[in-house]
């Protein structure tokens, strides 16, 4: 795996957007999880987070951007997502600023695949534009852990929700 794989994954997801949203095309979650693990932003492999309680994640690793309301529930039950929506700054000066907003794929009372797909594909596109320039080691210093976890949560939900 290399730094361009993040950007390539984002592009591949964009090409397949409609089919994935309509649940007509297989979502390669293993590939997505491999890219998230490659970035090494989180302390452990993404698959190990889904069964942690929200409280465990909150106390051990969260950067407190996610809204965790049911601390006794597994993190996979979290309905809040952090969308990475913009990056700016000066790479040569080490000043990189990501901006985020909250998304809730369950806001209308039922699961909206389009919201999670947007969190996943757009977040990967923004992050993927930076990784080839600064590398994964520098990325860890600038991107939110909760935003990376949100990419995993979106992937998990797209795979497991109807």
CA separation for the pair 35, 77 (Å, rounded) = 22
Q: What is the DSSP string of 82-120?
A: EEEEEEEEEGGGTEEEEEEEEE-TTTTSS--HHHHHHHH
pLDDT of 4 strictly over 90: no
**Across all residues in the chain, what is the average pLDDT?**
95
Residue-wise pLDDT for 30-76, tens only, equals 999 999 999 999 999 999 999 999 999 999 999 999 999 999 999 99
pLDDT of 15 strictly over 80: yes
Share of the chain above pLDDT 70, in %: 99
Residue-wise pLDDT for 22-32, tens only, equals 999 999 999 99
> What's this model's pTM, rounded to 2 decimal places?
0.96
């Amino acid at each position: 795996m290399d730094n361009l794989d993040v950007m390539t994954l984002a592009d591949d997801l964009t090409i397949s957007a409609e089919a994935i949203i309509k649940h007509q095309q297989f979502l390669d979650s293993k590939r997505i999880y491999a890219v998230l693990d490659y970035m090494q932003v989180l302390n452990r492999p993404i698959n190990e987070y889904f069964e942690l309680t929200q409280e465990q994640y909150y106390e051990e690793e969260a950067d407190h951007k996610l809204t965790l309301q049911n601390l006794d529930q597994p993190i996979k039950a979290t309905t809040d997502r952090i969308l990475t929506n913009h990056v700016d700054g000066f790479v040569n000066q080490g000043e990189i600023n990501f901006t985020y907003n909250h998304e809730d794929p369950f806001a209308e009372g039922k699961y909206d695949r389009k919201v999670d797909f947007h969190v996943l594909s757009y977040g990967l596109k923004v992050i993927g534009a930076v990784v080839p320039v600064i590398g994964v080691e520098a990325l860890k210093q600038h991107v939110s852990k909760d935003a990376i976890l949100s990419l995993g949560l979106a992937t998990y939900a797209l795979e497991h929700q109807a």
